[in-house]
Structure 1
Amino acid sequence: MKENKPQSTSKNNPSFQKKVWIVVGILAFSIITILLLKATFRVFLLILAGALIAIFFRGLSSFIQKKTKWKEGICVAISIISTFLIVIGLFWLIGAKVQDQMAELVETLPKTVENAKAKLNESSIGRNIVDNFSSVDSIEKAQGFAGQFFQSTFGFFGDLYVVLFIGIFFTISPKIYINGLVQLIPIKGQEAGKQVLNNISNQLLNWLKGTFFSMFVVFVLTAIGLAIIGIPLWLVLALLAGLISFIPNFGPLIALIPAVLIGLLQSPETALLVVGLYILIQFIESNFITTLVQKKLLDLPPALIIIAQLIMGTLTGIWGLVLATPIIVILIVLVQDLYIKNRE
């Protein structure tokens, strides 16, 4: 009579061991991928910033070509050169005044902070605020946060150099990079991939148009308002407000701080006028300018933008805060084109 052989355990089963190794391999690959993304995510943000510059140059060259019927290469060259000439011209025209006011601002701010402390120390609530913000623990936390928030991949000027040249290279020969990216997609989906990339480019171009228009309006209104109030550094403060308004939600708050401090140097009433001016400009920008711009844009939920800014700013610092909105635009286009339009 034949004895029953004991059944092989799962540990001795080759197929089971193979499955275990597959799971371990997938887990290891996932961890390595996450670590690589975390280490290189700031580089991807710089690439995105360069792509935005290229989209701007290409959009401007398309406008020039549409009006003049000139060749594409000539229009691209004109768009790049004219943009640099305009920027250099503006700095040449107002650069000296801005430089003088910036130097005065740097010299005045410490006195202004001390003046603000003196005003706050006149009340018990103000003294508590000053004590809390002046404590060693609060200062160390603020320095640590600022150091992490303003850190960059290659240094500030190194980042600008990288972004600028990436943008120029993308502008000169975009088809090389687009075709290379499309080649990574399976053949059946390459045509759809091209359409998605084209849609992303169009939406980002529309977003840039609206953002630059909003920045210009904020600069003009701030300059007029501060000049009427009589703030001595009105030009540099208005320029700062216009540039920082590129960052929605948090930009106006950042720009308000130096303006209020300069207002406090004159009087508390002047500081309150500055606060009222910035609130009025933010109201006009949010309810009229943004509403006008959004007609040509995707519907971007404000809460979603704030959440993205908080997450990106915490993880990657200033670049994440600046580029949170275009990242949301890209994600919304991807979800709409790849999922919502194709679901049954």
Structure 2
Amino acid sequence: MSPEDKSKEPVDWAVYIKKTWIKWSILALIAVFLLLFKAIVSIILLTLASALLAIYFYGFTGLLQRYLHLPAKVSLIVSVTLNLLLLVGFFWFAGSRLESQITQLSDTLPSTIQHAQSQLQQSALGSKVLDYINSSGTGGKTSAFVRHFFSSSFGALSDLYLIILITMFFVASPMMYKRGVVHLLPETAKDKGDELLDQLGDVLKKWIKGQIIGFFFIAVFTGLGLWALGLPLVFTLALIAGFLNFVPNFGPIIAVIPATLLGLMQGPTTALLTFGLYTLVQVIQSAVTQPIIQKRMISMPPVLTVVAQVAMGALTGFWGVLLATPIVAIGMTLVQELYVKKQTYHKYPLN
């Protein structure tokens, strides 16, 4: 049949309308999925944060059982109560001081940034850097990124409320949720799934342990160093440095900026010493606590961690950057246990 004859055939409008509806329905489903994807990822991240907090409570419970020989339920109650009392006590004794220093820091930083700009304008290279930033709009892009970085889908208060609420459920009956996940697996994979969940919990427990050790190490030594240099707002800057240790790669860079700017107010020498202090503390921390973090924990390529942080940060903001490392650890553990270990390497053996 020639093309001219085909063009003269009658059109089946019912089939045409059906195909059109199918195409538009698929496009609509894709659009709805993309709109809901960010919210779904945010909910998963909050659930992961709750699971990490519950793992911390049970890890502390294990310490109480080991050293005080308390029953399991009593140790869990003591673990949760003691940590809550420590948190309340911290804000009771140091909350007002922390609040005043944060307010002072937020009031001081604008003038500090202006002072830094005036210092840069005194050199030819600094002037070129400022001209590039102003002409390219990098400053506005950076501000927008920072606002998105420290934002989340539901707001800080609602995020914390959801994390605490889900953590309470996880702490109250963790085995119920574990059994629920295992029941979703095929019969032949239930034993492997149960073993894999225990292994993931062990990996995350070691990550939390290393991060807590790193937090105290960096906060204490950074605070002592800033106090020796005579910088103001030592308490707040030390806590910022400690907390941002939970965000590898980018956290130390963010932490050093306000301290260096405050040091610049006292002179270029103080700013350089402050920058050197943060660098030295990070180097020592990497040599002392990093082996504890990586001990018996899956090795994560730095490039993969950075890419995950950038991608998760662009998608969900602060929570994505904060939880990118445990997400990578979970993903690599699953790939290694479910795929890599089942492969037979003849040319490139693992050992």
Q: Shared fold by TM > 0.5?
A: yes
TM superposition shift of 1:160: 1.1
Counterparts of 1:72 and 1:312 in 2: how far apart (Å)? 37
Aligned to 1:293: 293
Aligned to 1:186: 186
TM superposition shift of 1:235: 1.4
TM superposition shift of 1:155: 0.5
Counterparts of 1:165 and 1:272 in 2: how far apart (Å)? 45
Q: Does residue 226 in structure 1 map to residue 226 in structure 2?
A: yes
Number of residue pairs matched by the alignment = 325
Q: TM-score, normalised by structure 2?
A: 0.85
Counterparts of 2:35 and 2:343 in 1: how far apart (Å)? 33
TM superposition shift of 1:343: 2.9
Counterparts of 1:318 and 1:283 in 2: how far apart (Å)? 25
Describe the shift of the 1:253–1:139 C-alpha distance in structure 2 as closer, same or farther (beyond 3 A): closer
- Cα deviation, 1:41-73, whole Å, max 9, x if unaligned, reads 111111111110011111111221233333322
Q: Which runs of no fewer than 5 residues in structure 1 stay unpaired?
A: 1-21
- Cα deviation, 1:77-136, whole Å, max 9, x if unaligned, reads 111111111122222333333223222212221221111111111122222222333458
Residue identity matched to 1:300: M
Comparing 123-132 with 323-332, greater Cα deviation is found at: 123-132
Q: Does residue 239 in structure 1 map to residue 232 in structure 2?
A: no
Describe the shift of the 1:24–1:127 C-alpha distance in structure 2 as closer, same or farther (beyond 3 A): closer
Describe the shift of the 1:263–1:296 C-alpha distance in structure 2 as closer, same or farther (beyond 3 A): same
Q: How do 1:32-43 and structure 2 match up within 5 A?
A: 36-43=36-43
- Cα deviation, 1:232-278, whole Å, max 9, x if unaligned, reads 21111011100111111111100001001110111111000000101
Aligned to 1:260: 260
Q: How do 1:119-134 and structure 2 match up within 5 A?
A: 119-134=119-134
TM superposition shift of 1:35: 5.6
Q: How do 1:53-64 and structure 2 match up within 5 A?
A: 53-64=53-64
1:76–1:172 CA contact under 8 A, matched in 2: no
Q: How do 1:1-344 and structure 2 match up within 5 A?
A: 36-135=36-135, 137-344=137-344
2:39–2:153 CA contact under 8 A, matched in 1: no
Which secondary structure state, in structure 2, belongs to the residue aligned with residue 159 of structure 1? Answer: helix
Residue identity matched to 1:322: L
- Cα deviation, 1:193-226, whole Å, max 9, x if unaligned, reads 0100110001100110011101110011101111
Q: TM-score, normalised by structure 1?
A: 0.87
Comparing 227-236 with 29-38, greater Cα deviation is found at: 29-38
Aligned to 2:347: none
Comparing 134-143 with 116-125, greater Cα deviation is found at: 134-143
Comparing 61-70 with 268-277, greater Cα deviation is found at: 61-70
TM superposition shift of 1:26: 9.9
Counterparts of 2:341 and 2:24 in 1: how far apart (Å)? 36
Aligned to 1:15: none
Describe the shift of the 1:82–1:278 C-alpha distance in structure 2 as closer, same or farther (beyond 3 A): same
Describe the shift of the 1:85–1:285 C-alpha distance in structure 2 as closer, same or farther (beyond 3 A): same
Aligned to 2:12: none
Q: Which runs of no fewer than 5 residues in structure 2 stay unpaired?
A: 1-21, 345-351
